[in-house]
Amino acid sequence: MKKYKIAVIPGDGIGVEVMKEGVKVLETLSKLTGEVAFDFTWFDWGCEYYLENGKMMDDDGLEKLKNFDAILLGAVGFPGVPDHVSLRDLLLKIRQGFDQYINYRPVKLLSELDCPIKGKKPGDIDMIFIRENTEGEYAGIGGIEREGKEEEIALQTSVFTRKTTEKVMDYAFDLAKKRNKLNHLTSITKSNALNHSMVFWDKIFKEKKANYPEIKTAEYHVDAAAMYMIQRPESFDVVVASNLFGDILTDLGAALQGGLGFAAGANINPDGKYPSMFEPVHGSAPEIAGKGLANPIAMIWTIKIMLDFLGHESLADTVMKGIEGSLEMREKLTPDMGGKGSTSQVGEIICDIMSKKL
Ligand code: NAI
Ligand code: MG
C-alpha cells in the first residue's frame, strides 16, 4: 500500500464544501482498493483566518507545507478581504514559493448536453492548457506613485525569464508528443503589441520548436485564439500560454466544457523539489456559498489529476468514470447543471458509481 501525506487547504466559501467531496472520493478509493492511503492534515488558512489574524496563512506556512506529498486547495476569496490580498498572500505565495511553474488545466467536454456551441461532441473539445504560473504578468512588480494626485501613475511590470519560459515550453512540447491526439502545440502570443515580452516568448518558442520536428505548431495572438477556440475548438490539442493569457483563456475553456463547475487544474513543480498543489479553476463563489449548491465535479476532477501525477492512473480512470456516470443522472446534479441535487449528494453519487466500477 502506498501512503501519502496530503495538506488540505479548503479556503473560503464553496472551497470548503467542494473539498469535503474531494476528500470523500480519496477515502472511498482507499477503503475500496487498499492500494493507497491518505493522511490528511487540514489548514484553516484563508479569509476568515485573515480577519482574525491579519494574514492569509502562517508566516512559516511554506515551511509547514514543504514536506507533504501534495497540497489540495479549494478556493480563496471572500467579501471583506480585497481579492488582491487573498490571491497574492496565499495562492501566489505557494505557487511562486514552491516554484510551481506549470499550471496544468484540461478543457474536455464530457457530454454534448453541456457545450454552449451547437453540434459539438465529446472528442471535439479536448485540449490541455499549460500556463506559465510563477512570473509573467503576475510577477507583482510595480507600484502606485503620487497617490491621490492628478499625476497619479500605476506601473505593473511583467517578468519573463529565459529559464522558466524554456522549461514551460519544453513541458508543453513533451506533453504534445506524449498525448495521443494531434501531436500539436499552440502558442498564445500578442507580439504585435507587447513588443518586448511576447517577442521574447515567440523567439523561445521557435528555438524549442526546432527540437521537436514531429510536433505540428500554431502561433496565435490571444484575441484571435479566443475566437478560434469557439469557431474550431477541435483544432486545439496542447496550448502553451503566459500567466495572464492562460488565466483568461482557461475560463473560456471552462465555458466550452460546461462551466466552472467542471474546470480542474494543478500547479506543478515538475522538478519534484517542492510539493505540487491541486485546485479547481473556480473561486469561492460567495453568492452560492454555504447552501450546498456548489458543483463538486471540478474539485473531484482535480483529485483525478492528483492521482495521475502520483502515478495511480487506474485509480484516476475510476474517478473519471464516476464523474462521467454522474452526468447520466441529470436531475441529481447541482443547479448549475440543471439538477436538484446538493454538493454532498453529487459527491455520494460519484463515490457510488466508483465503487461499482472497482
Ligand atoms: P467564481 O469562480 O467564484 O464564480 C464565478 C461564477 O461561477 C459565479 O456565478 C459562481 O456562482 C459560479 N461558480 C463557480 N464555481 C462554481 C461551482 N463549483 N458550482 C457552481 N457554480 C460555480 O469567481 P468570481 O465570482 O470572480 O470570484 C469570487 C471570489 O473567488 C473572489 O473573491 C475571487 O478573488 C475568488 N477567486 C479565487 C480563485 C482561487 O481561489 N483559485 C479563482 C477565482 C476567483
Ligand atoms: Mg482565473
DSSP labels, 9-76 = EEESTHHHHHHHHHHHHHHHHHHHHSSEEEEEEE---SHHHHHHHSSSS-TTHHHHHTTSSEEEEEE-
User: Ligand 1: which residue has its CA nearest to atom 25?
Assistant: 285
CA of 282 relative to ligand 2 center, distance in Å: 7
pLDDT tens-digit series, residues 126-145 = 999 999 999 999 999 999 99
CA dist list (Å): 184 to 235, 241, 305: 9, 14, 21
- pLDDT > 90 in the chain, percent: 98
Mean per-residue pLDDT for 190-199? 97
Distance (angstroms) between ligand 1 centre and the Cα of 283 equals 3
Which uninterrupted H or E stretch holds 256? helix 243-256
User: Residues 242-260: pLDDT tens digits?
Assistant: 999 999 999 999 999 999 9
Q: What pLDDT score does 219 carry?
A: 98
CA distance 275 to 144: 34
CATH number of 109-262, picked from 1.10.275.10, 3.40.50.720, 3.30.300.130, 3.40.718.10: 3.40.718.10
What's the rounded Cα separation, in Å, for the pair 273 and 355? Answer: 34
Centre of ligand 2 from the C-alpha of residue 111, in Å = 23
Q: How many CB atoms lie within 10 A of CB 151?
A: 6
Q: Which ligand is nearest to the CA of 75?
A: 1
Closest residue by CA, ligand 1 atom 26: 283
Mean of pLDDT values over 192-202: 97
Q: Please work out whether the CB of residue 10 comes within 6 Å of at least one atom of ligand 1.
A: no
**Residue in 234, 250, 230, 231 with CA at minimum distance from that of residue 242:** 250
Amino acid letter for position 190: K
Q: What is the pLDDT of residue 358?
A: 82
- ipTM of the predicted assembly exceeds 0.95: yes
Contacts of 94 (CB under 8 A, 6+ apart): 61, 62, 65, 71, 73, 100, 267, 277
Residue 187: band (very low, low, confident or very high) from pLDDT cuts 50, 70, 90: very high
Topology (CATH) of 1-101+269-358: Isopropylmalate Dehydrogenase (3.40.718)
Cα separation, 26 vs 37, in Å, equals 8
pLDDT of residue 295: 98
How far does residue 282's CA lie from ligand 1's centre (Å)? 5
Rounded Cα distance, 98 and 276, in Å: 8
Residue 221 has phi, psi (to 5 degrees) of: -65, 150
Which cell numbers in the block locate residue 344? 454532498
pLDDT band at 35 (very low <50, low <70, confident <90, very high): very high
Q: What pTM did the predictor assign?
A: 0.95
Average pLDDT of the chain to the nearest whole number: 97
Q: Do domains 1-101+269-358 and 109-262 have the same CATH topology?
A: yes
Is 289 a residue whose pLDDT tops 90? yes
Q: Is 75 in the pocket of ligand 1 (CB under 6 A)?
A: yes
Closest ligand (CA of 87):
1
Per-residue pLDDT band at 180 (split at 50, 70, 90): confident
Domain ranges of the chain: 1-101+269-358, 109-262
* Amino acid identity at 87: L
